[in-house]
């Protein structure tokens, strides 16, 4: 198997690290900056005798080296700066994601694409258009990260192991994301049984602002450990045909009444990529919040100059 990571920055290099350490396959890192992917790939390869992972790792500026990838994780783009919204990135990252996707599609026509670049829901749409790939092979990483943050905050609040905590997040990857506490559990116990509503609401708020919290702490750049781990978990589910149910930005048309956009929904991820969008019945207030989130995605996509 072969995994290509586009973008050798914080998210891309760390994704390469997780993928190599898990021995998911050979890893190719491609970036526009000369030397950067080569240097990071060689450095990572030199960690392999110490850590004992045995995969090939190549860094390149030439898309020919990405040929025949099974999964491609696209992280190329500019990250958010403090005070900058994800939407400010729209025009710049549209041009970048379009051009890299065209190159990837040319050399790996059968690949599964996992988009990470922001603004996420719009960039998945751009990658879908630019690749011409069927919708089961194009998806975005957001929900796994948002749910992981929610799980972390729940575990911290209750003082329990994160291993026992599950969380459920729907909608776009923005301030309108919809964490659903009633589907979040601790060892199977629904969260509302364990915490009062105001405490849960505080955790939901923190989750919604999880990206900004890290941006404000770092001052330069944005989160990368959890985002890259999340993208690699999606890649793993595809490469190993695990059929995990993960929240991903997936194409929904009739599902949830979305009407042809990529939004965060639970999907079955296996060897055929997005094998199924899992539809659940939402309560009226959840549906309202979800629809608001979809509307935000729709507005973003409407402003795209592809």
Residues annotated as catalytic are 173
The answer to whether 99 contacts ligand NAI (rule: CB under 6 A) is yes
The answer to whether 125 contacts ligand NAI (rule: CB under 6 A) is no
The answer to whether 10 contacts ligand NAI (rule: CB under 6 A) is yes
Closest distance to ligand NAI from the beta carbon of 281 (Å): 27
Size of the site for ligand NAI (CB under 6 A): 34
Closest distance to ligand NAI from the beta carbon of 104 (Å): 10
Pick the binder of ligand NAI from 69, 131, 222, 233 (CB under 6 A): 222
The answer to whether 113 contacts ligand NAI (rule: CB under 6 A) is no
Query: Is the CB of 5 or the CB of 24 nearer to ligand NAI?
Result: 5
Find all residues with CB under 8 Å of 105, minimum gap 6, and list them: 111, 130, 131, 132, 133
Pick the binder of ligand NAI from 221, 245, 255, 298 (CB under 6 A): 221
Give counts: helices (H), strands (E), the chain: 9, 14
Residue ranges in 159-196 assigned as alpha helix (H): none
- Own/partner pairs, 269-273, CB within 8 angstroms, 24+ separation: 269/139, 269/234, 269/237, 269/238, 269/242, 269/243, 269/244, 269/245, 270/237, 270/238, 270/241, 270/242, 270/243, 271/238, 271/241, 272/136, 273/112, 273/136, 273/137, 273/139, 273/238
Ranked by CB distance to ligand NAI, the top (closest) residue is 9
Pick the binder of ligand NAI from 2, 3, 5, 7 (CB under 6 A): 7
The answer to whether 227 contacts ligand NAI (rule: CB under 6 A) is yes
CA nearest 257: which of 221, 301, 222, 288? 288
Helix (H) or strand (E) holding 172: none
Closest distance to ligand NAI from the beta carbon of 162 (Å): 19
- Name the site residues for ligand NAI (rule: CB under 6 A): 6-12, 31-33, 36, 75-80, 93, 96, 99-100, 116-118, 120, 141-142, 145, 173, 221-224, 227
């Amino acid at each position: 198997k072969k995994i290509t990571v586009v973008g050798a920055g914080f998210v891309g290099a760390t994704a390469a690290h997780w993928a190599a350490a898990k021995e998911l396959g050979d890893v190719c890192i491609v970036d526009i900056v000369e030397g950067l992917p080569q240097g990071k790939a060689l450095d990572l390869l030199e960690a392999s005798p110490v850590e004992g992972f045995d995969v090939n790792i190549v860094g390149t500026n030439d898309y020919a080296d990405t040929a025949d990838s099974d999964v491609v994780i696209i992280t190329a783009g500019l990250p958010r700066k403090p005070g900058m919204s994800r939407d400010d990135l729209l025009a710049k990252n549209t041009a970048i994601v379009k051009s890299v996707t065209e190159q990837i599609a040319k050399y790996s026509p059968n690949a599964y694409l996992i988009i990470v670049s922001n603004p996420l829901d719009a960039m998945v749409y751009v990658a879908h258009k630019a690749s011409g790939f069927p919708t089961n092979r194009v998806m975005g990483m957001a929900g796994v990260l948002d749910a992981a943050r929610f799980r972390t905050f729940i575990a911290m609040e209750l003082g329990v192991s994160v291993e026992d905590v599950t969380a459920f997040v729907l909608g776009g990857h923005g301030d309108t994301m919809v964490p659903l506490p009633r589907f979040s559990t601790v060892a199977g116990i629904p969260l509302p049984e364990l915490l009062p509503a105001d405490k849960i609401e505080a955790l939901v708020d923190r989750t919604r602002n999880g990206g900004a919290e890290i941006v404000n702490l770092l001052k330069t750049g944005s989160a990368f450990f959890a985002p890259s781990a999340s993208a690699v978990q999606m890649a793993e589910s595809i490469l190993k045909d695990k059929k995990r149910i993960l929240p991903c930005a997936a194409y929904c048309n009739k599902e949830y009444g979305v009407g042809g956009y990529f939004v965060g929904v639970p999907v079955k991820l296996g060897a055929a990529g997005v094998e199924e969008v899992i539809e659940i019945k939402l309560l009226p207030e959840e549906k309202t919040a979800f629809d608001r989130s979809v509307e935000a995605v729709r507005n973003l996509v409407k402003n795209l100059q592809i």
